[in-house]
Amino acid sequence: MVAIQKLIDENGLRVDGRRLDELRPIKMEVGLLANADGSAYIEQGRNKIIVAVYGPKEAQPKHIGLHDRAVIRCRYHMAPFSTDERKSPAPSRREIEISKVIREALEPAIFSEYFPRSMVDIFIEVLQSDGGSRCAAITASSLALADAGIPLRDLVVACAVGKIEGKLAVDPSDIEDKLGEADMPVAFIPVLGKISLLQMDGMFTEEEFIEALNMAKNACMKIYELQKQTLKQRYLQIEKEIQETPVQKGEE
């Protein structure tokens, strides 16, 4: 690997040629797993993440069930081949923590009170990691929840904002995250106007923080539109195919 000297070039472009407020290319898909109740796949830059949702189902073991709402369980896991060096498949401290913050980012959007004594399982598998995998995982998880038909107040969407060479940049990649000065993942629930995840690594001034939050919200709204399109895509595709085949009248 060539050592990178500058993260932003003289034209104001980043190492991968993006502008400061530009997202990495995003590809999403839903309903790709037959055995799960809901599933989603996301590619955001070099991130490749697959999410499966099961439930609501009977709480198992029974004592974890709550009498007033469903239990949400979340597992964020990185595949051993998802990083440069082999990663141990055992859940690390980082993964356990991310599982918890993702669960807490999604919970306010789920009508869990509709299914007391039951549980919902969310399995997130990172196949290939780049920077901002927790944000991409949240975006994909809410798609998988919607695909499973679990009632939601809104889709949850997440995006990070970083500080690289003193400038704020949206959706930092792995290298920008590592060499940059700060990184702030934000999860946003647009309809409720609420932020359900806000973490920060590094330092921002107060002005920078406010600016970064606005940048994150704007980026989230772009991803939010993509999410909605992705959910509808499959059904509109079937509809198109049917309307293109002419209806033959009975052959009697």
Contact positions vs other proteins (CB under 8 A):
37-38, 55-58, 67, 70, 111, 114-118, 146-155, 190-192, 227-228, 231-232, 235-236, 238-239, 242-243, 247-252
Closest distance between other proteins and the C-beta of residue 106, in Å? 12
To the nearest 10 degrees (0 to 180), the angle between helices 133-147 and 93-106 is 50
Closest distance between other proteins and the C-beta of residue 59, in Å? 8
Nearer to other proteins, 123 or 204 (CB): 123
Nearer to other proteins, 93 or 249 (CB): 249
Nearer to other proteins, 89 or 149 (CB): 149
Nearer to other proteins, 46 or 73 (CB): 73
Nearer to other proteins, 82 or 118 (CB): 118
- Residue given tokens 């590809």 in the structure block: 27
CA of 122: how far to CAs of 18, 55, 163, 175, 205, in Å? 32, 9, 31, 28, 36
Closest distance between other proteins and the C-beta of residue 249, in Å? 8
Closest distance between other proteins and the C-beta of residue 200, in Å? 27
Q: What is the dihedral of CA 147, 106, 93, 165, to 10 degrees?
A: 100
Closest distance between other proteins and the C-beta of residue 152, in Å? 4
